[in-house]
Amino acid sequence: MHPGHAQRRSAAGSRGSSGTADRAADDAHSAGDGGSAGLPDVAGLLAIAVADIGGAERPGQVQMAAAVQRAIETGEHLAVQAGTGTGKSLAYLVPAARHAVTEQATVVVSTATIALQRQLIDRDLPRLAAALGPALGRAPVFAILKGRRNYLCLHRVKSGAPEDPAEVLFDPRTVSATGRQVERLHEWAAKTATGDRDELVPGVSEQAWRQVAVTARECIGAQRCPFGSRCFAEHARDEAGRADVVVTNHALLATRPSAGSGTRARRRRGYSTRSRTGASTSWPSR
Ligand code: SF4
């Protein structure tokens, strides 16, 4: 396949690149309007989003957005390969946001890299939500969901981590450096609103972080935990459950097919798309 060429895995097979923009636009216009009467179609929303960031229409992007939209409508899986400069993020985020808002569903966007997660959360989704809000009637709500060990665990902070036998063998200078980082983490624990490790600047060593975080397996469960109601990981999951678009990673999606027990998607079977950069978009079937 060539850059800018989107392919849907269906009886229709692959499609040539000639005339793709016009046809894709037609596809977008004709691809289902259930529950979205009166709202702009995907092509229209994409045009709004592109104009908002000062960009120009790109045929490959229009084609990809139409393919994603049609995959959502038909429930078919979709694999897309598109080159740099296609504008792939908007091509899947626009139909995803439209579907989430019109169907009151949660769409899960799963990425292979933290860098892409950050790009989506810090740049693409805030812009998109602001741009599409007026056209959709409200701004799409988005959230990021990470594995539990990425959030500070208040129970571990208060109760202390089990002793790590390996630490005994460490150079005392290393231990004291780790100790200072752990001390800083305890101070941060009293201030942070999210407990998200990525918000701690500068960061700390893995060894220090392990003193204040737990894996899903190590968590004693929010029901039993005395800090369950204040737990950062649980709050992140709750937020994800209320969001229209949830950004997560493949590992978490693999262990939790709907990217978290709180998402609306959990209740229904989902479908997904995958792009060349490793971003996947999943949505619940109707
Ligand atoms: S519920 Fe689990 S992750 Fe949250 S504070 Fe309690 S033990 Fe830690």
Q: What is the pLDDT of residues 249-267, one digit of tens each?
A: 888 887 765 444 444 433 3
What domains can be seen in the chain, in order of their start residue? 9-147+243-284 (3.40.50), 152-212 (no CATH)
Question: Is 268's pLDDT higher than 70?
Answer: no
| Average pLDDT score over the chain | 79
Quote the CA–CA distance of 236 and 217 in Å, as a whole number.
17
Tell me the DSSP string of 183-248.
HHHHHHHTT-SS-BGGGSSS---HHHHTTT---TTT---TTT-TTGGG-HHHHHHHHHHH-SEEEE
**Distance in angstroms (rounded) separating the CA atoms of residues 6 and 275:** 9
Which of 149, 156, 224 most suits a substitution to test ligand 1, by most atoms within 8 Å of the C-beta? Answer: 156
Average pLDDT over residues 206-212: 94
- How many whole angstroms separate alpha carbon 91 and alpha carbon 120? 12
161 lines ligand 1 (CB under 6 A): no
Q: Dump pLDDT digits (tens) for 217-252.
A: 999 999 999 999 999 999 999 999 899 999 998 888
Q: What is the pLDDT of residues 104-160, one digit of tens each?
A: 999 999 998 888 898 999 999 999 999 999 999 999 999 999 999 999 999 999 987
pLDDT of residue 238: 92
Query: Considering the chain, what percentage of its residues have pLDDT values greater than 70?
Result: 72
**pLDDT at residue 5 tops 60:** no
Does the CB atom of residue 46 touch ligand 1 within 6 A? no
